[in-house]
């Protein structure tokens, strides 16, 4: 018999992956889905902006000083890119730095091309919002 904690484990893992943004690693290139309304397009698109500095997990065997230096470099790069994205009308939604060096941003669709040209940006992918299906075996 499975315990309540065992049944919640997949949900916690899924939630962690969403927070970390791992679900967007294999996301397709930016393109607005046909089903978006004019109001949704005007509100902007939610995207992950991946940056070119490696994430902290690449230094898992480094000493604490090297990790702290990389954490600071990532923080400065994210601040710099976010400043450029704000000038393009972007609104920050979140940041990740351990598994992926990226910022989540709501950005006007017409600013995507300019955002790709910002120094430090390696790629832009859409945020995919996952919806958990109810368990039909209950």
pLDDT of residue 60: 82
pLDDT at 30: 42
In this prediction, residue 18 carries a pLDDT of 44
Q: Are 55 and 74 in contact (CB under 8 A)?
A: yes
Q: Which residues of the chain have pLDDT under 50?
A: 2, 6-36
State the CATH number of the domain containing residue 115: 3.30.70.80
Instruction: Report how many domains make up the chain.
Output: 1
So what's the pLDDT on residue 33?
44
- The pTM assigned to this predicted structure is 0.66
Q: Is residue 132 part of a domain?
A: no
List the domain range (segments joined by +) for residue 24.
Answer: 4-126
């Amino acid at each position: 018999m499975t315990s309540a904690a065992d049944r919640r484990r997949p949900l916690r893992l899924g939630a962690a992956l969403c927070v970390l943004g791992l679900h967007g690693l294999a996301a397709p290139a930016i393109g607005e889905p046909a089903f978006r309304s004019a109001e949704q397009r005007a509100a902007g698109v939610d995207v992950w902006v991946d940056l070119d500095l490696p994430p902290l997990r690449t230094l898992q065997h480094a000493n604490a000083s090297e990790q702290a230096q990389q954490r600071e470099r990532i923080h400065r790069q994210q601040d710099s890119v976010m400043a450029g994205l704000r000038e393009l009308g972007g609104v920050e939604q979140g940041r990740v730095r351990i598994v992926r060096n990226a910022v989540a941003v709501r950005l006007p669709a017409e600013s995507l091309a300019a955002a790709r040209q910002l120094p430090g940006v390696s790629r832009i992918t859409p945020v995919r919002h996952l919806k958990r299906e109810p368990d039909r075996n209950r």
